[in-house]
Amino acid sequence: MKTLATLGLTFFLMSFCGLSEKFKSLQSGTNSGSNSTSTTKGSTSGTSAEKPQLTAAQQSIADSATETKWDAQGLSWKLPSGWKKMDANKLTFNYQSPDNAFLLVNISEMSSDFPVDSSLKAYYDQAMEKIKQGHYTKARMLEIDGIPGVEFMEAPPDEKDGIRRYQWIGYRNYLGQVQNLNVMLSTSKANFDKHSDDFPAIMYSMKSTK
């Protein structure tokens, strides 16, 4: 169990590899021009953001789940019975299911002039490319509780015991702070299908204090 938990956290951190350089590049480009932060909701470069729609099975899970709050960030998710807290502090919020599925959330604090729209477009374009390469099974612009972002799901890994991830990355303004919000649900390849309804039910249940 500890090994799987460590793997989940490790792969979550790996999902951030290269992001700091991307942020610096985007930041540099913005600093040379406008100092305003775009907060446009619903679309990125002509790509309309969809809104979550739960299936009957997913809605049933959400209806019976318990709202779990991250008070430090004014966020919450509905988690099925048995999910337990691993860690929660100012910038990370991690929960684990009894069978080693994980909700791993990370917030990165950005400068006030960070180019939100350009970054979301970069995430979206990268996700579309990974679909072509066979690394992702789906990706789309998705707005959750008014927050624009990009949703994507990894293809099953080649490794028998590999980790498969379902992820959403978005941006919000909270208490005057521009934040990159990275939400990931993951578990082993063999366990992923078992959570095919749990994961969207959890992801789409996210609420953010306005």
Whether the predicted pLDDT of 101 surpasses 60 = yes
Q: How many CB atoms lie within 10 A of CB 121?
A: 17
In the chain the domains, ranked by start, together with CATH numbers, are: 2-208 (3.40.1000.10)
What is the structure's pLDDT at 46? 56
Look at residues 124, 92, 125 and name the one whose alpha carbon lies nearest to residue 108. 92
93 or 25, greater pLDDT:
93
Whether the predicted pLDDT of 128 surpasses 90 = yes
Whether the predicted pLDDT of 166 surpasses 60 = yes
Q: Edge-to-edge, what's the strand order for the sheet holding 84-88?
A: 84-88, 92-96, 102-110, 177-188, 163-174, 147-154, 136-144
Whether the predicted pLDDT of 69 surpasses 60 = yes
Whether the predicted pLDDT of 202 surpasses 90 = yes
pLDDT tens figures, 87-97: 999 999 999 99
Give CA–CA dist 67/205, Å, rounded: 9
